[in-house]
């Protein structure tokens, strides 16, 4: 029995397609918050309008995206670029994070033709060339681009470095619903902070502090820095990540109970209960509300 036949049999019982990593990382409930009266903006009776900057549409630069993602995903194990390897979960992988499944043989045939040593590449006997990895990446990344277009308002309008960070977050599955919500609201400074509010980041920080180099920290901070750069805050220095909820919040222009609750990871109803004398539909700039 050759390697591909054996691999196919393994995956017949536990079918996982090439988008498995993305689906795994994206699992979870949408962090939708209660609407209605709690959504009135400060100084307004209308629903909040996302503060999305209008810029011209720009095409995807696949080469730039390839260079950015490959720094995170790698081209294989160190010293063995292009060779098949097992990822952090022990699953067979090749190229830029392409999970080898029962469909990989047909995918490779369609991309590289029947003359290519497909069985050799998938079994790990021979490496993929960089041009082959790039071609496979273009195919695989399209699923992430399509997902980004469905999740992120005006995704195609953002500059390439923002697209890179968003796609990289989808590759890892760490671009959570709250971070996406802030991006869609146009609040990239809040998105940058919320993006690091993730267990994978905290675990990676702890490992690095313990003297065990772990790449997730650097990868996520690089994406965070891209969001900070686009926030136009003039400050691209690392922000302090502090997830201890303060006791009060001062209302700013555009604030609503929903937006404040999302910022501090609170329940809207709890926020309303903490402020019995406050009308959520008549918030005033400079007004102080209780958070707990």
- The pLDDT, as a whole number, for residue 265 is 67
- The pLDDT, as a whole number, for residue 34 is 38
**Do residues 56 and 159 lie in contact, with contact meaning Cβ atoms separated by under 8 Å?**
no
48-62, 153-167, 198-212, 249-263 — which is least confidently predicted? 48-62
Q: What is the pLDDT of residues 24-45, one digit of tens each?
A: 344 333 333 334 444 455 554 3
Q: What is the pLDDT of residues 249-289, one digit of tens each?
A: 888 888 888 888 777 767 778 888 889 888 888 899 989 99
How large is the average pLDDT for residues 220-246? 67
pTM: predicted TM-score of the whole model, two decimal places: 0.59
How large is the average pLDDT for residues 168-191? 89
- The pLDDT, as a whole number, for residue 105 is 94
- The answer on pLDDT for 119 being more than 90 is yes
25-29, 39-43, 127-131, 142-146 — which is least confidently predicted? 25-29
């Amino acid at each position: 029995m050759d390697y591909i036949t054996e691999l196919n049999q393994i995956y017949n019982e536990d079918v996982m397609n090439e988008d498995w990593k993305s689906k795994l990382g994206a699992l979870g409930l949408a962090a939708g918050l209660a609407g209605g009266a709690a959504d009135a903006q400060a100084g307004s009776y209308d629903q909040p309008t996302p503060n999305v900057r209008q810029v011209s549409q720009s095409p995807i630069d696949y080469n730039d995206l390839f260079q950015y993602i490959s720094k995170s995903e790698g081209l294989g194990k160190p010293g063995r670029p292009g060779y098949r390897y097992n990822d952090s979960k022990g699953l067979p992988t090749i190229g830029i994070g392409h999970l080898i499944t029962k469909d990989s043989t047909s995918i490779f045939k369609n991309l590289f033709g029947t003359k290519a040593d497909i069985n050799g590449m998938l079994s790990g006997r021979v490496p993929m060339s960089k041009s082959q990895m790039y071609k496979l990446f273009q195919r695989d990344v399209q699923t992430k681009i399509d997902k980004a277009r469905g999740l992120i308002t005006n995704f195609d309008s953002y500059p390439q470095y923002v697209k890179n960070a968003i796609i990289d977050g989808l590759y890892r599955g760490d671009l959570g619903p709250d971070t996406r919500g802030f991006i869609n609201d146009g609040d990239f400074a809040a998105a940058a902070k919320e993006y690091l509010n993730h267990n994978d980041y905290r675990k990676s920080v702890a490992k690095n502090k313990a003297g065990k180099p772990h790449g997730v920290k650097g990868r996520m901070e690089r994406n965070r820095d891209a969001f900070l750069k686009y926030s136009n805050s003039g400050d691209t220095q690392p922000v302090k990540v502090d997830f201890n909820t303060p006791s009060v919040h001062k209302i700013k222009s555009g604030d609503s109970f929903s937006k404040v609750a999302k910022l501090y990871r609170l329940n809207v109803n709890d926020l309303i209960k903490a402020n019995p004398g406050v009308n959520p539909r008549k918030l005033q700039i400079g007004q102080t509300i209780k958070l707990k």
